[in-house]
Amino acid sequence: MSDSLTSGISRRNLLKASGTVAAASALASLSPSLYAAEDNNIRVALVGCGGRGTGAASQAMSVPNEQIKLVAMADVFDGKLSLSHNGLKAKHGDQVDVPEDRRFIGFDAYKEAMDALKPGDVVILTTPPAFRWVQYSYAIEKGLNVFMEKPVTVDGPTTRKMLALNEQAKAKNLKVGVGLMCRHCKARGELFDRIQDGQIGDVLLIRAYRMLGPTGNTPVKPNPGELSDLLYQIKNFHGFLWLSGGAYSDFLIHNIDEGCWMKNDFPVEAIASGGRHYRGDDIDQNFDSYSVEYTFADGTKMMLEGRTIFGCHQEFATFVHGSKGSAICSTSSHMPAKSRIFKNQRMVNDELVWEFPQPEPNPYQLEWNDLIEAIRNDLPYNEVERGAKSSLVTSMGRMAAHTGQLITYDQILNLDHEFAPDIDKLTLESDSPLMPNAEGKYPVPQPGLITKREYQVL
């Protein structure tokens, strides 16, 4: 189940070497203007104006020696769009050219924002992940290059949709980045090369941790009634499985993805446990602790620990153990990674063999530098298959914890339970795909009781 993209989509020399024939073929059939407007500006539309979307738009406009303009924005909340626009305008000045008539609100706003672009421009998709396949479909139809945030799917059916859609994107030679920015980290990239070269021997065990306090809007209080159930859930999207895969998918995916990268494979099954603690009147669907054992095809294990409880030991790191030594993939948060290799299993300075020099370049910026370089030079560049697989194995571990069952890769991929099958039909007046009961509460996972899906509709 290894993915050829796993070993270095962000590595420019590999892209250039492997893409020579494909690029030449593509250039023979496509106009160069497809990848840059006639004035040589790359125009960008932002769909989803929250913190991550605003950050992505800022990084797009910060690519060195480029001519990139933000020309359209879309969201379902006018206040969020205005806040994002004002912040970006203050930072980037004339690069932000989004007059009132190119600021769009509503569930069809993504179409209006993309309609403001030309083929070969870039759309940023940073709405809650549930909407990813819907918006990606329209971007492909419009011939747009794409940057989409992770996770790219939240369940098996949407993963199948994304993989099928992506074949259309590849046929159109569109360049698509996925916001698993750790794959663009120089420190992790060199560590990956060293592990593949055998410097720690055979990989025997991977340990990944994200044990912090509550993150994002993961604990959700009852809806006070100022917003509809649909809009209230979107505002607090980390709390609802249909929108984001919950806190597990939205946050733990980075540790899972970098562990899979170091192994150069994706796991085939998962078993897990988890639970809810001290929740009071919270109405979200998240567990507060997750403990997952992933197994790769060769039997190697990846252990994942997630926790979002105040007052507990905190750990945010990924470690790799080999037959000849060990490695720190990431030390604390996403950057700097401070990747290191040790001669044995004692990860102390006296046993240090190699460490990546500091300071490290910012991987959030590097992923944009790499995407724009691919657009300008027509290099092969599509991270969706890898992003979909990482999203799927994340859902696999989540479902294992939520059901109490062993879940395989094939099971989760072919599962028929789609959280929000009619999401493409939503309007501002629609009911949510997941409505509360009379007490304003939502169904939560019940391991061992509900075993075929992650929750039972109330």
SS3 126: coil
State pTM to two decimals: 0.90
Distance CA 151, CA 130 (A): 9
Q: How far apart are CA 227 and CA 222, in angstroms?
A: 11
Question: Residue 32's pLDDT band (boundaries 50, 70, 90)?
Answer: very low
For the ranges 13-27, 68-82, 169-183, 279-293, which has the lowest average pLDDT? 13-27
- Please, which pLDDT band fits residue 353 given cuts at 50, 70 and 90? very high
pLDDT single digits (tens) 359-373: 999 999 999 999 999
Task: Classify 210 as helix, strand or coil.
Answer: strand
Confidence of residue 215 (pLDDT cuts 50, 70, 90): confident
Q: Parallel, antiparallel, or unpaired: how do β-strands 269-275 and 407-408 relate?
A: antiparallel
Model pLDDT for residues 273-332, shown as the tens digit of each residue:
999 998 889 999 999 999 999 999 999 999 999 999 999 999 999 999 999 999 999 997
pLDDT tens digits, residue range 83-120? Answer: 999 999 999 999 999 999 999 999 999 999 999 999 99
Contact between residue 397 and residue 270 where contact means Cβ atoms under 8 Å apart: yes
> pLDDT category, 5, cuts 50, 70, 90?
very low
Distance, CA of 274 to CA of 277 (rounded, Å): 10
Quick one: pLDDT at residue 426? 94
Query: Can you read off the two tokens belonging to residue 222?
Result: 């009852």
**What is the percentage of the chain residues whose pLDDT exceeds 90?**
88
pLDDT of residue 388: 98
- Scan for tokens 């509460």, then name that residue: 441
Q: Please, what is the Cα angle at 82 between 124 and 39, to 5 degrees? A: 50
Residue 3 pLDDT exceeds 90:
no
Q: What is the pLDDT of residue 82?
A: 98
More confident site: 1 or 285: 285
What is the architecture, at CATH level 2, of domain 4-183+364-383? 3-Layer(aba) Sandwich (3.40)
Q: Is the peptide bond before 359 cis (omega within 30 degrees of 0)?
A: yes
- Span between the terminal Cα atoms of the chain, in Å: 37
pLDDT category of residue 238 using cuts at 50, 70 and 90: very high
Write down the pLDDT at residue 458: 66
Q: What is the mean pLDDT of the chain?
A: 91
What's the average model confidence in pLDDT over 13-37? 37
Widest CA span in the chain: 63
Judge if the upstream peptide bond of residue 128 is cis by omega within 30 degrees of 0: no
Mean pLDDT of 436-447: 94
DSSP, collapsed to helix, strand or coil, labels residue 185 as: coil
**Euclidean distance between CA atoms 305 and 289, whole angstroms:** 8
Task: Please report the pLDDT score of residue 390 as a whole number.
Answer: 98
Taking the C-alpha atoms of residue 171 and residue 174, their distance in angstroms, rounded to an integer, is 8
| Closest alpha carbon to 380 in 212, 169, 186 | 169
Structure confidence at residue 216 (pLDDT): 75
What is the arithmetic mean of pLDDT over 125-148? 98
Range 163-168 average pLDDT: 98
Name the residue among 429, 370, 255, 301 with its Cα closest to residue 5: 370
Question: Domain 185-361+393-425: which CATH class?
Answer: alpha beta
Q: pLDDT for 40-63, tens place per residue?
A: 899 999 999 999 999 999 999 999
Tell which wins on pLDDT, 384 or 278: 384
- Map out the domains of the chain as residue ranges: 4-183+364-383, 185-361+393-425
Q: Is 12 exposed, middle or buried (0-12, 13-18, 19+ CB in 10 A)?
A: middle
